[in-house]
Structure 1
Amino acid sequence: MLATPTGLEFRVTAPPGGWTVESVLELPDEERARNVVELVDGVLHVSPLARLEHQRLVGRLWGQLSPGAAPRYEVLPGANLVLGNRNDRLLIPDLVVSTAPGLEGVSLTEKQVLLVAEIESPSTRVQDRIFKKALYAEALIPYYLLVDPEQEAATVYALSDGDYLPHAKSEGGVLELAEPFPAELDLRA
């Protein structure tokens, strides 16, 4: 049993040999439906599902990114993303822009992703700004979109020599993208 940051119990037993991507994806639906369950270097990271305001922003961003992405790319909310060939890293970004539209299955790999997006919350701010950003860069995902809803601000980072550099920043609550495809993201509530 693990405790989530909100104190809710997460009842699972580690499989023999430790956690792998497959063992996480085989967890009971009722456990995964109540929590975000990610895996980094064989260690489970469990957090409660995001607040409703967060989910609404995910929906708005999906709607604003999708027209510019289609038909070459597909924008997916909350997709399982397997990083590397190690079988011990599984993250669930708020949004993923896939380079394999129409792909079926339960997960994507970093080779099938153009952009990942994370929307900060008070409980995930450090993870999103430092930890996940580093993991996505290590996986060589070309673009990282980081959204701070409290400030109505967003930055798109582009991968350069294995690290993310700021590529575009929002102004007045609006982020204008030319790359990786044209889109206007309105972050204002």
Structure 2
Amino acid sequence: MTLMAERPVISDTKPRSDFDELLDLLDELRVPDGYKAEIIKGSIVVSPWSKGYYTRVMKLVCNQLEQYLPEGHIIERAPHLFVFPGLERAYGPDIHAAHEQTYETNSSHLDGEGLSFVAELTSHSTRVADLTDKVDVYAKAGVAVYLVLDMQKEQAIVYGSPSPRGYEVRFTKPFGEKIDIPDPFG
């Protein structure tokens, strides 16, 4: 009698995780134009890209923060997938800043722990994840500042001072009021 494992295993290799398999599926997924795919809470979630008028808002945020970026950091609106393997998440933030070395890769999966700033503009389909799951993941990954522009409530929420327990600083301002961005952006 011959016994065979359900999946062949080669010695001295690490078995693939469900997260790795989700990343492979995400890479193979044909997402319709105008949509992006992320991994949120163990599932691939497809949501529409930002509305056209969000472009002006994203450009304003980038322009205002660019002069305050830490040395060697760049801020982008380009669609990139940032991966958080230990937390089994992969997000495509609307705006992201990281040290330039974070972007120096041939991979389409960028290191989420390289991020120093993330901003999300909420939509009806992404709002819950932007205000819950992403807050927790970005804090645990050490993202210094997470800015949520809540387009439905017309308010900005800033999270800062990340720790393994979450963000230690959180404040909210209505759109149109001046908002301070914590260090390292000051």
| TM-score past 0.5 threshold | yes
Aligned counterparts, 1:171-182, within 5 A: 172-177=176-181, 179-182=183-186
What SS class does the counterpart of residue 67 from structure 2 fall into? Answer: helix
> Which residue of the other structure, out of 6, 29, 40, is the alignment partner of 1:27?
29
The answer (yes or no) to whether the contact 1:98–1:114 under 8 Å persists in 2 is: yes
Distance, in Å, in 1 between the alignment partners of 2:66 and 2:51 is: 23
Matches for 1:1-189 after TM superposition, within 5 Å? 19-28=21-30, 31=31, 33-69=33-69, 71-77=71-77, 78-85=79-86, 88-101=88-101, 103-105=104-106, 106-158=108-160, 159-167=162-170, 169-170=172-173, 172-177=176-181, 179-182=183-186
Question: How big is the shift at 1:178?
Answer: 5.2
Amino acid at match of 2:57: L
Identity of aligned residues (%): 25
Change (3 A) 1:85 1:163: closer
Report the more deviating stretch, 52-61 or 173-182.
173-182
For 1:138 and 1:178, locate their aligned partners in 2 and report how far apart those are by CA, in whole Å. Answer: 17
TM-score (normalised: structure 1): 0.71
Q: Could you list the runs of 5+ residues in structure 2 that have no partner in the other structure?
A: 1-17
Change beyond 3 A, Cα 1:54–1:161:
same
Structure showing greater radius of gyration is 2
Tell whether the 8 Å contact from 1:37 to 1:45 is kept in structure 2 after alignment: yes
Partner residue of 2:15? none
Stretches (4+) displaced over 6 A: none
Q: Which letter does structure 2 place at the counterpart of 1:72?
A: G
Aligned Cα root-mean-square deviation (Å): 2.7
When normalised by structure 2's length, the TM-score is: 0.72
Report the number of matched residues.
163
Secondary structure in 1 matching 2:54? helix
